[in-house]
Amino acid sequence: MKNLFKILALVFTGLLVFSCEKDEDQAIINETSAGKIAADKSAIVLNELNANTAVISFTWTKPTFNIAVVPNQKVEFGIKGNSFKKSATVDFSNDMTSGSVTHAAMNAAMFAIGATPDVVNDIEVRLKTSVGSAVFYSNVIALKVTPYTPNPDLVYPKINVPGSYAGAAGYANWTPANSPNLFSPGKNDEYRGFIWINTVSGDEDGKYKFSINEDWPGNKGDDGTNTGKLKLDGANVKAPAVGAYYIKVNWAANTYSSVLANFGVIGDATPTGWGSDTDFVYNPATKTFVINSIALSSTGVFKFRANDDWAMKFQPKDADQTLVSGTAVQSYLSAENTVTGDPAYKVSQAGNYKIELDLHNSAYYKLTITKL
């Protein structure tokens, strides 16, 4: 019984010490005065041409605490009315009480929080100070920001596809820094995209491999089995036929696939209806796939499919879309599971049109039609 009382006493003492320690932790860090932030502008228009130039400056008074601490401080942005539930931050070193943000950094923050490009967005800004796991916030200031549509070539990771085919496609043969790229829309190790090969007749024609950082170190090629497996400094991959290829690479898993994908337009808005396709032709000068002239009616619809089949289609995201002459729109590849339903394109005016598909970046396929 005495032993039982001793054990209970020890347990009670331990709980008491633990409770006191928790209370002490809660009492250790107290904010004695809140931080305060201000900006030198209340409205800004972001411009990609000035990407590395400062667009706005913030000044702030740091919060103070009852004990000496080494805080981590950031300027935090959120859409007005969303209570910073989705936010982005720009870091500043803890010895600073002012700092500027460039057009590019601000635009990246706006992109991250879901601000709408090319229109005025009401944004809220505050100073976020962290001390360990404790977080403290300043006052909130209002800012009107007009972001630009970020260049997907700069936003998404990419690998390069150098090869003997690249010169004829408008690039340079066997030059990683001047070759088509495969992009990673998921910003992971999975890359995808298109290349175009004009000839495979010679032994060295139609060959390619994969590089990273626009250079040869770390390049990967076939492991010699021709079964879609990669290895460092592996063998060149040779395309079996002329045409456009849809390529997918898992860089971490060392795998790749390559599928012939020659696209055409089809639909009851086209002269041949749903019976046959009008094929695109690759233009090395613009690095795009083009139909220079086709009659389109305003009463029908059209979409783009590969290899006279329905396995791969370029379509609107989730509903029929009426295209405006000369205005580029993002197009979606059904095989990438980015399309809901089976939507199609339309034009509001009948006439002859030039159609151009820009497939150089799989994170942003671009479609433009122009009335002739």
Reference 321, options 343, 336, 299, 341; nearest CA is 343
| CA–CA distances in Å: residue 191 to residues 114, 166, 207, 332, 356 | 24, 19, 19, 16, 23
pLDDT, residue 19, reads 35
| CA–CA distances in Å: residue 224 to residues 220, 231, 320 | 12, 9, 45
The CB density around residue 337, as the number of other CB atoms within 10 Å, is 8
Of 13-22, 159-168, 199-208, least confident by mean pLDDT is 13-22
Write the pLDDT tens digit of every residue in 117-169.
999 999 999 999 998 888 999 999 999 999 998 888 988 999 999 999 999 99
Q: In angstroms, rounded to a whole number, what is the distance separating the alpha carbons of residues 130 and 253?
A: 38
pLDDT > 90? residue 24: no
25 domain residue, yes or no:
no
pLDDT > 80? residue 22: no
Listed in sequence order, the DSSP H helices in 250-336 are none
Together in a domain, 250 and 268? no
Enter the tokens of residue 205: 């024609």
9 domain residue, yes or no:
no
4 domain residue, yes or no:
no
Confidence category of residue 69, pLDDT binned at 50, 70, 90: confident
The CB density around residue 67, as the number of other CB atoms within 10 Å, is 9
Number of domains in the chain: 3
326 domain residue, yes or no:
yes
11 domain residue, yes or no:
no
Confidence category of residue 30, pLDDT binned at 50, 70, 90: confident
CATH number at residue 309: 2.60.40
Together in a domain, 36 and 142? yes
pLDDT > 90? residue 29: no
- Average pLDDT of 51-71? 91
**In the chain, what is the greatest distance between 2 CA atoms, to the nearest angstrom?**
100
- Average pLDDT of 340-369? 97
**3-state SS class at 226:** coil
